[in-house]
Structures are given as C-alpha cells and as structure tokens.
Amino acid sequence: MLNYNLKLFSHNKLFNDFINLDLLNKLPSRVLLTGKEGIGKCTFALHFINFLLSKNETTKYNLSKNIINSDSKSFNLINNLAHPNFFFISKEEEKKYIDIEQIRLMIYFLNRSSFNNYKKIILIDGVEDLNLNSANALLKSLEESNSNNLFFLIHNINKPILDTVRSRCLSYKLNFNFSDTKFILSEHFNDNLYDNLNEDFKETALSPKFIINHINFINENKLDLDEYDIEKTIKYIIEKKAYRKNYFIIDSFQSYIEIYFTKMYLKTKDYKYYDNFIKTISETNLINKFNLDLDSFFIKFENKYLNI
C-alpha cells in the first residue's frame, strides 16, 4: 500500500505547469523527475496521477488547494495498487535492485487492454535502482511506447542512471523549499513533532522523508526525540546493530554520518572533518559494492570519530 501526503507542498508551480500541458494535450508521455532524495518527487507524481485518474469523478482532485480527495475511488484503488490503469514499481526491501521480473510484469500490464480507454500510467520510484538487465528491458518499453502510455520515472540525483534511459524522457528537476518541512511533518503525523526534534536535525537541509523516517526510528525504539542528538543516535545505531536489520538505517546511515561531520565542521571550522567525511563515504561505498564487514566498519567509525 502506498503512503504519502494528501496535500502537495513545495512543487505547486510545476504541478500547475503539468495541468496546463494536459489541458493542451501536450503532456509528454515519458517524464523523468529528478532531484534530491526524499523531497517529494514520487508524491508529486502520485498527486498528478490522482488528478488524471479522478477527472471524471464527483470526488475529483482539489486543484484550488492541491489536495487529493480521500473519498475518490481512484485514490483508494491507486493506494492499494489495484487501479486497472496504474502500475507501480520500486525496489523491494530485501533486494538490492529492481529486477527484470518486475519490468516483465509491467510489460504484461502494458499489453493488456486499457480500462475505459484511459491512459495506462507507469510509475517507477527509484529508476537508479534498476540493474543492467531491468534497465535494458525498460528501455525497450520506453522506445516502443505510444501516446496511450504515460511513464513517470523518479530519479534520486545522487546516483547515476543509464544515459540511454535519460535520453528517452523529458527531464524535470525538482527543488524543495525546506521551510515547508515543518508543515509536511505536521500533516504526516497530525502533530507538531518538528519542534520536539533535536537541534542537530534542524540545522541541516534534510529531506522530509529522512526526518519522517528518523522520527519513526526514534519512536519505535522508545527514545527521546529532543534528547537524541546526532552523536547519541549514531552510538545507539551502532550499539543495537540497527544497520543490520532496519532498512531505513541501512539506506540512510550515510546521511547520519554527513550530519555528524557537518556539525563538527560548523563547531570547529576545521576542514579535517570534511576530509574525514569523504574518506568515510568512500569506505561505505566499498562496503556496499563488495559486501565487506559492516561490524568492523562501525567499530572503526565509533573508535576513530565518535570518541574524539
């Protein structure tokens, strides 16, 4: 089941541009949305998809407020991945890549008849997670696609994708107004948790997705949101070996490292912390590439940096 904010933040201008393109029948059929991870690229696409698929409903998308109508039949079908004209792909938690079988299922979906002659919409969240085989299979579908199909590819800009995939799409770069983070958290949790955050997580430009997952991690482990600064958080992650079992921590520990070294640099203005950050990121990249020993890395990190 999909989970995202019913109100769209930060990307309203681009959203309105897409609305106008659709009204003029000039909407591109292959769209690549790029930008920093966790800033709402997939949420943006889902809002526009909800707009498209609810056009003929009485409970259609609220354009004046950029809000999805939760009573919409299309909204509930989309969220439950049950809409006959919508297909969603993302990397499964236990896997490293979007595999070719997921693309084959997408191809089967495209070959079926369209419901009510509406467009078939494919949303791939994390196109950088395709491996070579799945990327090449997707490329073939993009090349053979017609105007009755609409592709939204979400790309986290810090990771590369095949130039051949990029060249088949019209690219739009999304930026985020970080002053909206507080409102997104309030909308997501129905509570003003931003004010309870430790200052270490307010002074860096962190994506709303990262902060939401960080709050969930802190709450799940019954920790104090204000008390746990970056040092305490990293030490807890290492002590509990959360990097082994928590998918958010596995994917995001590099972000915690970046917050830590940014804090140390701002406190001391010593460039050695930037150099240390680069060295540490290089090590984590090697670990991810060659499946090296995580325990050794984190013990070394704690002894070398956290115990300064």
Say how many CA atoms lie within 13 Å of 91 toward its Cβ.
17
Cβ neighbour number for residue 207 with a 10 Å cutoff: 21
CB 208 within 8 A of CB 67: no
pLDDT beyond 80 at 297: no
Q: What are phi and psi of 283, to 5 degrees?
A: -65, -45
pLDDT digits (tens, 9 = 90+) for 182-229: 999 998 888 888 999 999 998 778 899 999 999 999 999 999 999 999
Residues 6+ apart with CB under 8 A from 90: 98, 124, 125, 126, 129
Question: 272 or 24, which is more confident?
Answer: 24
Strands 120-125 and 86-90: parallel
pLDDT digits (tens, 9 = 90+) for 234-273: 999 989 999 888 889 888 888 888 898 888 877 777 656 5
Query: From the centroid of its chain, how far is CA 119?
Result: 24
pLDDT digits (tens, 9 = 90+) for 70-86: 999 999 999 999 999 99
Cβ neighbour number for residue 7 with a 10 Å cutoff: 16
CB 166 within 8 A of CB 31: no
Q: Confidence band (pLDDT; 50, 70, 90) for 231?
A: very high
The SS3 call for residue 152 is: strand
Query: From the centroid of its chain, how far is CA 125?
Result: 7
User: Which tokens go with 29?
Assistant: 């059929």
pLDDT beyond 90 at 101: yes
Kindly provide the b/e burial profile for residues 96-108, where b requires at least 16 CB atoms within 10 angstroms of the residue's own CB: ebbbbebbeebee
pLDDT digits (tens, 9 = 90+) for 162-177: 999 999 999 999 999 8
Residues 6+ apart with CB under 8 A from 81: 1, 2, 88
pLDDT at 93: 79
Residues 6+ apart with CB under 8 A from 35: 41, 155, 156, 157, 173, 174, 175, 176
DSSP bridge partners of 151: 30, 122
